[in-house]
Chain A
Amino acid sequence: MTVADVAASQASLDYARAAIEHAYDQGWTDGLPVVPVTRPMVEEFLAQTPRPADEVIAAVPHLSRECTVEQAAVNAALAGCRPEYFPVVLAAWEALGRDRAVTGGGWQSTSGPAPLIVVNGPIRHQLGINCTGGVLGPGFRANATIARAIGLVVRNVFGIQPQELEQATQGIPGRWTLCVGENEEESPWEPLATEVGLPAGTDAVSATLLRTCEFVDNRHTQNPEELLADFADTIARTGAAIVPYSSAGLVLGVEHAQMLAANGFAKRDVQQWLYDRCVRSHEDLARVGKSLDGRTGPGIDEYGLHMLPSPEQLLIVVAGARNAAMSMVVRPFGFAGWSRSAVPIKRANKQQAPGPSVGADQDQRS
């Protein structure tokens, strides 16, 4: 490299840095740096979907706000997505649109809930969506940026920003980072998308809002009912109950799932076992100031309150590495339950092979 080359390179990087600072100055970021977006980049994203750019994919009617495919593309690019992730982002929006907590004002809620995006199908491997070790953690571009693309639309398109229209009291860690692939290869059961009705092997997204994840570390037992009782203790904790409602799901580690299956438990058996036993007594609820006060209704009996609305509302996803027997209890937000549905991912017919797109010849796309 000549001195002039070095200087030119330095100038380019200085400009890139300034562009990122410009995005901060405009209020376009969630606190982390964003990728400066150009018009040709947006066209690359739009080329990945058969859906028209002006189609509305999400709306917040009470704020008179709508998000089009194109606006979602801009914010997916901003979030750091590769163009080929974009159909997953669109499917995630459609799945979130089926969640009553989302359409009922969840983005503004004092609970500050996080969208959990679950991806099934071969597309997980094609896009590098992590479904094994560290599945809930950082380090994987597809997981991190697909979830972030949702959050940037909430901020930039819906205009719902913290301490303004977003009124989270504390919020939750990882609010815009929860995109996971299901570990279908090591799960003993049918994938989530299949469980809720799509043909096996379909590329699909399911989504719901979560209030938190709580670990259950049980490397102690090989007895399935002891393990389930350990889950039940966390699921039924009073702090998670907004009487008379509570909710839970499981992101099951592979070892736990396989142990349960080896002992004859199908998913629906796990759901039923936990529904039957995750009950808090009237005395327990009264002790923490959450007495039912004579209320009646579904899930309430003379003993107390069922902490799951129904067996099938217990969301079960298998994800993570097969290296330790631990799982997460997750907490779907809202009283209406999750949608129990999965949205097929629709890609443009002429797929561009995944590969470097930054700096690609613009003429290739026209």
Chain B
Amino acid sequence: MFDAMVDPTAGPANHARATVLAARKPDLRGSRVGLLANVKRNAEQFLDEVGALLRQEHGAADVVRRKKMSITDPVPPDILADLVASCDVVVVGVGDCGSCSASAVADGLALEAAGIPAVVVTTDAFSVTADAMAKLQGSPGYHYVRTAHPVAPLGAEELHERAVAALPEIVATLTGPAKAPGPSVGADPAQETLTGPRRDGG
């Protein structure tokens, strides 16, 4: 009935394709872990806690720290290339604002597209914008790890506790068999492809 109406959302930029997640190894032993921090307060400290735990408890060999200075823009190409060249997996975070949470999701997808398993950590106050970014990028349902908002005012001990609490889901997201693209019975194919490995396997 309204076929003659032009869709104002349609356009060449609208056909973002779903990102196929990078292949995962079953564990993190011997892996080089990239930590991609933003400039929000406590982001680097939180990721450092995660990095230390991954080495102590999961046998990660080393961490590579990188920081991006824009809270909005995607990870710069040189930092992305550097992480791809020097890391086996990358932890991205902490998304604790409107722009940077969405941006962190975009960075996670960029790393996956480059073949590097990644996990994004954002706070729960910004789930909606993180989800919206995943959808905009053609990857609705992209799985990321949530921690409570806010992160900025936490002290060192609280940050450590947050990292400990998030660790199992971070590890599960970075490991395990990546789901094969393609439809499965009773599930939205896009969701199925993009949700990624989870601790519960589903």
Contact = CB atoms under 8 A, between A and B. Distances in A.
Nearest to B137: A64
A167 B72 contact: no
Interface in A47-79: 54, 61-68, 70-71, 74-75, 77-78
Given A104-B72, A157-B11, A159-B136, A109 B4 contact: no
Given A62-B72, A104-B72, A109-B99, A74 B136 contact: no
Interface string A138-170: 000000000000001000110101011111000
Interface string A255-275: 000000000000000000000
A22 B13 contact: no
Given A64-B13, A64-B136, A19 B103 contact: no
Contacts, number: 106
A105 B72 contact: yes
A62 B2 contact: no
13 contacts: A19-B2, A26-B9, A36-B2, A38-B6, A62-B103, A63-B136, A65-B136, A74-B6, A156-B9, A157-B9, A165-B98, A166-B98, A167-B97
B11 A108 contact: no
Contact of A28 (B9, B72, B128, B129): B9
Interface residues of A, number: 42
Interface of B: 1-2, 4-13, 16, 70-74, 97-99, 102-103, 106, 126, 128-129, 131-133, 136-137
A283 to B, nearest CB: 27
B5 A36 contact: yes
Nearest to A21: B2
A324 interface: no
Given A66-B13, A110-B98, A159-B136, A18 B1 contact: yes
B41 to A, nearest CB: 15
Contact of B8 (A38, A68, A74, A164): A74
Nearest to A26: B7
Contacts of B13: 64-67, 157
Nearest to A36: B5
Given A104-B72, A164-B129, A165-B132, A159 B9 contact: yes
B131 to A, nearest CB: 8
A157 B6 CA distance: 13
A23 interface: yes
A152 B4 CA distance: 20
Contact of A61 (B6, B8, B73, B99): B73
Contacts of B98: 108-110, 165-167
Contacts of B5: 19, 22-23, 36-38
A37 B5 CA distance: 5
A288 B52 CA distance: 40
A350 interface: no
A1 B59 CA distance: 86
A38 B131 CA distance: 32
Nearest to B125: A167
A151 B133 CA distance: 19
A71 B129 CA distance: 24
A96 interface: no
A225 B186 CA distance: 74
Nearest to A105: B72
B12 A64 contact: no
A66 B15 CA distance: 12
A133 B137 CA distance: 45
A42 interface: yes
Nearest to A164: B132
Given A75-B8, A157-B13, A164-B128, 7 more contacts: A23-B5, A28-B7, A38-B5, A62-B74, A65-B13, A71-B10, A109-B99
Given A61-B73, A66-B12, A165 B6 contact: no
Given A22-B2, A164-B132, A167-B129, A62 B106 contact: yes
A61 B74 contact: yes
A63 B11 CA distance: 14
A104 B74 CA distance: 11
A287 interface: no
- Closest 4 pairs between A and B when the two form their complex, measured CB to CB: A167-B98, A105-B72, A164-B132, A156-B8
